[in-house]
C-alpha cells in the first residue's frame, strides 16, 4: 500500500486545479462560432463549478483578507458564468 504524504497530496491537488483551469481556458479559446459555444457551455459550467469549489475550500483555511478576496472573486466568476449561460439560451 502506498501512503501519500500531505505534501504529495497538496502537490496533487495543485496539479488538478491547474489542469482544470487549463481545460476551461482551452475549451473557451477553441470556440469558433456561437453554435459551438452553446454546445460546450455545459462542460465549461461543470469545470468552473469544480474550480470554484476548490477555491472556496482554500478560502475556508485562508486568513480573513485572503478569504474575502477569494470569495469575492468566486462570486464574480459564478455570476459571469451564470450570465453567459443564460444569455446563450
Q: Answer whether 67's CB lies under 8 Å from 60's CB.
A: yes
> 83 lies in which domain range?
6-87
The domain tally of the chain equals: 1
Q: Is residue 71 part of a domain?
A: yes
- More confident position, 47 or 4: 47
Q: Answer whether 73's CB lies under 8 Å from 54's CB.
A: no
pLDDT at res. 82: 83
Q: Is residue 1 part of a domain?
A: no
| Claim: this prediction has a pTM higher than 0.75 | no
pLDDT at res. 13: 52
Q: Is it the case that residue 78 has pLDDT exceeding 80? A: yes
pLDDT at res. 57: 92
pLDDT at res. 61: 93
pLDDT at res. 88: 62
* Chain segment 22-69, per-residue pLDDT in tens: 777 777 777 777 777 778 888 888 888 988 998 999 989 989 988 898
pLDDT at res. 9: 44
Amino acid at each position: 500500500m502506498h501512503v501519500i504524504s500531505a505534501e504529495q497530496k497538496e502537490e496533487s491537488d495543485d496539479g488538478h486545479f491547474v489542469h482544470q483551469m487549463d481545460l476551461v481556458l482551452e475549451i473557451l479559446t477553441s470556440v469558433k462560432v456561437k453554435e459551438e459555444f452553446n454546445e460546450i457551455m455545459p462542460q465549461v459550467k461543470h469545470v468552473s463549478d469544480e474550480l470554484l469549489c476548490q477555491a472556496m475550500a482554500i478560502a475556508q483555511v485562508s486568513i480573513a483578507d485572503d478569504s474575502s478576496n477569494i470569495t469575492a472573486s468566486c462570486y464574480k466568476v459564478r455570476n459571469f458564468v451564470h450570465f453567459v449561460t443564460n444569455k446563450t439560451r
